[in-house]
Amino acid sequence: MFINGEWREAKDGGAFDSINPASGEVIDQVPDGSAADAVMAIDAAAAAYKDWSSSTAYQRSDYLYRAHALMMENLEALAAVMTREQGKPIQAARNEVKYGADFLIWYAEEAKRVYGRTIPSARPDQRFIVLRQPVGVVGAITPWNYPISMITRKAAPALAAGCAIVLKPAEATPLCARAVFEIFEKAGLPAGVVNLVTAADPRPIGETLLQDARVRKLTFTGSTGVGKMLAREASHDLKRVSLELGGHAPFIVCKDADPVHAAKGLSLVKFLNTGQACISPNRIFVHVSQMDPFLNELRSRVAGLKAGSGFDAGVRIGPLVNAAALEKVDRQVRDAVDKGAELAAGGHRLTEGGLDRGFFYAPTLPIYVAPDMRIYREETFGPVAPVIPYDDDADVLAMANDTNYGLASYVYTRDLSKAMWFFEGLRFGIVGINDINPTAASAPFGGMKESGMGREGAVEGLGEYLETKLGGFSIGTGV
């Protein structure tokens, strides 16, 4: 763990294994932190916060520029750690490292743009001044599916704002977190400004972050159930909370769309990270007139997806994170088939060629999926693309919005008016119109409804770590 500028073992000496999900092999051991370790990290952050929060924006910016340069210099090593520990293909890992580095340089620039303002008063002897100041110590909890970029997406704006941070990474990817904090250390960040606590059981660390009044902000990316619990517990001392939670993204192929282009886009975004992404399409609504050409192209693309170790050439499908994830995906597929869905491809665990040592599931296309099927309602987090035919635009908009989630959505159409109609009508925080990658460090990322609260990225992401302070000055009217 990295606490107060030093690498250290857990206070009680415990450790746990990091596992390669493609082979089941142990990669390394990392400290198994406890509540006592979390308290030490909060102590360090609270002590460092005073000087860090009073440093200039230009000073904080310099550290983030250094971290960005170091991350890019170490791109190949960081990507290799990610592929080994998380399982995604090496090119996807490289892309994630670049994406993670983007947040560092974006907020290196935005740190210098935390502006206040003056407000006119109705009283001649009064002046109003508004300041934006850091919220305080931040507790951050990050997921395993994007184990490097989700760290920088939280840490970069927090540091730019002047906050100190305590991070608890996903128990499945602690080595990725360690690699990022080695970058922070090399960048020369002052002791205590960034702190890392790894743990096999996230609950004691999370409870400590929630219960310690010195932690004034909690940021979490993960499941909706856990996010709701954290929001409830954070309310006891009114901690600021930002949550990026689950998704159940619709992907709509309109009557006027190019079905081949849409199928290409769907295959790229659906099977990215083996479907283990909160913005992954989970319900593919295809106009009845487009079903045949769309499915023909999609089947062809799915047939060409190679599964295996992310280090092997041509691999596009990596392992799922663990056995429980594998079982969940298969359970949803079996339920859909039992209730009348047809399998156009896949529908089974992959075991040939040594894949049985990992957690691999075949890219799967259930078609004619209906609302009574679990896969229609539940987030899958796997390489399954359920296809649902539709006939009327008003109906498909209602079906797309018929979910408690509201993170990402996608529409393929060549009609500008229809594109705007869907953009305004979809109850999702992100809408990709003929665009499968509507995200960037410069763009606000986040969802509506049970997909979370707050935004990451862009100027909105910086605002999540700032308090607004008003000063009212009575200055008199004389000379």
Residues assigned a catalytic role: 244, 278
Of 213, 116, 218, 208, nearest to 158 (Cα)? 218
Q: Could you tell me the maximum CA-CA distance found in the chain, to the nearest angstrom? A: 88
* CA-to-CA separations, 159 to 56, 432, 464, in angstroms, rounded: 12, 30, 12
- Measure the CA–CA gap between 179 and 190, rounded to whole angstroms: 18
Backbone phi, then psi, for 55, in 5-degree steps? -70, 160
- Measure the CA–CA gap between 60 and 184, rounded to whole angstroms: 12
Of 373, 400, 395, nearest to 384 (Cα)? 373
Would the CA dihedral through 21, 152, 461, 412 be positive or negative?
negative
Tokens 């909060």 label which residue? 42
* CA-to-CA separations, 104 to 135, 188, 221, 392, in angstroms, rounded: 19, 14, 18, 44
- Measure the CA–CA gap between 381 and 476, rounded to whole angstroms: 63
Q: Are 82 and 134 in contact (CB under 8 A)?
A: no
> Which tokens sit at 389?
């035919």
- Measure the CA–CA gap between 198 and 201, rounded to whole angstroms: 9
Beta strand 281-287 with 387-390: parallel, antiparallel or unpaired?
parallel
- Measure the CA–CA gap between 272 and 297, rounded to whole angstroms: 17
Q: Are 451 and 246 in contact (CB under 8 A)?
A: yes
Give the gyration radius of the chain's Cα atoms. Answer: 24
